[in-house]
């Protein structure tokens, strides 16, 4: 370096390191609750718009957290017959059904060797709190086969502590293969129409092959069954984020 005025060059401190946090720069969670997506039909979209306004209104007052089928939830509801006037139930979410205000989710648990399933409505005013104890996904969208699985897969501790989860982490997928009770089952889960990936089938080979007789390979090419929701979802996400910020 050329020294200025013959004096030794002034000390230049090294440039401060710029920490680029890639995780926060990732887009915000693109989760849209499935009951917002309108079903395909001939109803006037005005009806879904009005329903969504009511749903957003409820979400502003009461927090409905993000959860998937396979996460463990604890729900407190108001009950006039209970001594504390409220009831708490912990269970794994088996299925989410319904669209709009009538959206429901079913929680399953095994209490004192008795399997119990309770169907709650997401927007019912009786629900006082929904906590997500463990947020995770499973390999299937519908875990109704847990009714025919060994009870250890549906038991969850009633006083379980919520599992801490870092923000901006991807939702873990639990790839557990569930072992079943001996047949007969409530439904023939080995048939391809249910498309279940989360069961460890211990049936003989010829039975699995016989079940493939009911497969319908032409269904995935059927264009009339396609329902592309990407554009509808974008619009609804925009609407939701605008309304919830108000």
Partner 1 sequence: MMPIWTKSGEKRPVTLLKVQDCHVLRYVSKEESGGKTAKLLVGGKNVSPFSKPESAHEIFKEAGVPRKQKVSTFNVTDDAIIKPGTPLYAAHFRPGQFVDVTAKTIGKGFQGVMKRWGFKGQPASHGQTKTHRRPGAISTNKAAKVYRGKKMPGKMGNIYRTSFGLKVWRINTKHDIIYVNGSVPGHTNCLVKVRDSKLPTYKDCNKNPPFPTFFADGDEELPEDLFDEEIFQFTDPSVTFA
Q: What residues line the site for partner 1 (CB under 8 A)? A: 41-44, 46-47, 50-51, 54, 57-58, 61-62, 78-80, 85-86, 100-102, 121, 123-128
Closer by beta carbon to partner 1, 41 or else 184? 41
Closer by beta carbon to partner 1, 43 or else 174? 43
212 Cα distance to chain centroid: 29
Q: Whole-number minimum distance, CB 196 to partner 1, in Å?
A: 31
- Helix axes of 45-61 and 230-245: crossing angle, nearest 10 degrees: 40
Q: Which residues contact 166 (CB under 8 A, 6 or more apart)?
A: none
Any long-range contacts for 215-224 (C-beta under 8 Å, 24+ apart)?
Answer: 216/192
Q: Whole-number minimum distance, CB 239 to partner 1, in Å?
A: 16
Q: Whole-number minimum distance, CB 246 to partner 1, in Å?
A: 13
Task: Give the Cα separation of 75 and 182 in Å (integer).
Answer: 32
Burial 191-226 (b: 16+ CB within 10 A, else e): eeeeebebbeeeeeeeeeeebeeeeeeeeeeeeeee
Burial 16-27 (b: 16+ CB within 10 A, else e): eeeeeeeeeeee
Closer by beta carbon to partner 1, 49 or else 214? 49
Q: Whole-number minimum distance, CB 47 to partner 1, in Å?
A: 6
Beta-carbon count within 10 A of 43 CB: 10
Closer by beta carbon to partner 1, 65 or else 102? 102
Closer by beta carbon to partner 1, 95 or else 104? 104
Structure tokens at 61: 């007052």
Q: Whole-number minimum distance, CB 50 to partner 1, in Å?
A: 7
Cis bond upstream, residue 184 (ω within 30): yes
Q: Whole-number minimum distance, CB 124 to partner 1, in Å?
A: 6
Closer by beta carbon to partner 1, 50 or else 203? 50
């Amino acid at each position: 370096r050329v020294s200025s005025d013959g004096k030794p060059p002034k000390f230049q401190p090294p440039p401060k390191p710029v920490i680029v946090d890639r995780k926060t720069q990732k887009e915000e969670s693109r989760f849209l609750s499935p009951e917002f997506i309108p079903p395909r039909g001939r109803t006037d979209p005005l009806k879904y718009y009005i329903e969504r306004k009511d749903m957003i209104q409820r979400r502003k007052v009461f927090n409905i957290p993000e959860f998937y089928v396979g996460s463990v939830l604890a729900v407190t509801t108001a009950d006039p017959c209970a001594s504390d006037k409220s009831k708490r139930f912990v269970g794994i979410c088996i299925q989410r059904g319904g669209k709009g205000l009538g959206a429901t989710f079913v929680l399953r648990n095994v209490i004192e060797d008795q399997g119990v399933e309770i169907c709650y409505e997401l927007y019912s005013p009786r629900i006082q709190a929904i906590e997500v104890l463990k947020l995770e996904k499973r390999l299937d969208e519908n875990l109704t086969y847990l009714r025919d699985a060994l009870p250890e897969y549906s038991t969850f501790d009633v006083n379980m502590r919520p599992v801490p989860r870092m923000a901006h982490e991807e939702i873990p997928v639990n790839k557990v293969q569930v072992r079943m009770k001996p047949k007969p089952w409530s439904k023939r889960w080995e048939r391809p129409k249910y498309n279940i990936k989360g069961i460890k089938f211990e049936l003989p080979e010829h039975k699995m092959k016989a079940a493939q007789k009911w497969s319908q390979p032409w269904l995935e090419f059927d264009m009339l069954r396609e329902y592309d929701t990407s554009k509808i979802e974008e619009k609804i996400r925009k609407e939701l984020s605008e309304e919830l910020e108000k």
